[in-house]
Amino acid sequence: MENNEDGTHALLARWDAWGERQLWRKVQVKPAKPESAALAEKKLAELEGATALDALAANAKLVAFMTGWRWLAIKSAREDGATWEQIGEALGTTKQGAQVAYRRAIEAQEKYAPDFHDTAAARAVLDTDDQGEASTDPPQAVLDRMTARGLTELTAARAVLDIEKVDQ
């Protein structure tokens, strides 16, 4: 269980407090009306004293949490019938990029938390194509599809190599 200071809500609150402080500082420096400067000073006194470094530290922890949990949402989306293409689009990447990210995440789970990880269930959503059948595409076919979608051959080759490393 997370402690309160490093829980996601507390981290997000720290990030938001810094953002709000930035806004009121701007109002204080360039008030639209004379009374705005006094209001800004009052608001700044009421707000948590979050610095930019506090905000950056909170941001880094939030990103790590969210990235670490992403595979769970991917797994759930696949179990709910989402295609790899839909998942890639939601993540701002390709189908293959989503698959590689998911594969890496479940490998980390298998390596570092094997007692808390259902390997079969996690791999079941990866080892099927979007029609629910086992994917049998050879690496060259994957590479050809990726380059046809506009990825540079080097980027596509790296993704294929990542996939092959996992399969070995």
Taking only the tens place, the pLDDT of each residue in 112-155 is: 888 887 888 888 888 666 554 444 444 555 555 555 555 555 55
pTM comes to 0.60
pLDDT for res 27: 93
pLDDT for res 112: 86
Q: Which residue has the tokens 């829980």?
A: 7
DSSP the chain: ---GGGSHHHHHHHHHHHHHHHHHHHHHHS-SSHHHHHHHHHHHHHS----HHHHHHHHHHHHHHHHHHHHHHHHHHHHTT--HHHHHHHHTS-HHHHHHHHHHHHHHHHHH-GGG--HHHHHHTTSB-TTSSB----HHHHHHHHHHTT--HHHHHHHHHHHHHHH-
Q: Around Cβ 57, how many Cβ atoms within 10 Å?
A: 16
Q: What are the tens digits of pLDDT across the range 124-135?
A: 888 666 554 444
**Within the chain, which residues score under 50 in pLDDT?**
1-2, 132-138, 160, 163-168
pLDDT for res 83: 94
Q: Which residue has the tokens 């595409």?
A: 137
- ∠ CA 164-132-94, nearest 5°, is 50
CA dist 137 and 131 (Å) reads 14
pLDDT for res 49: 85
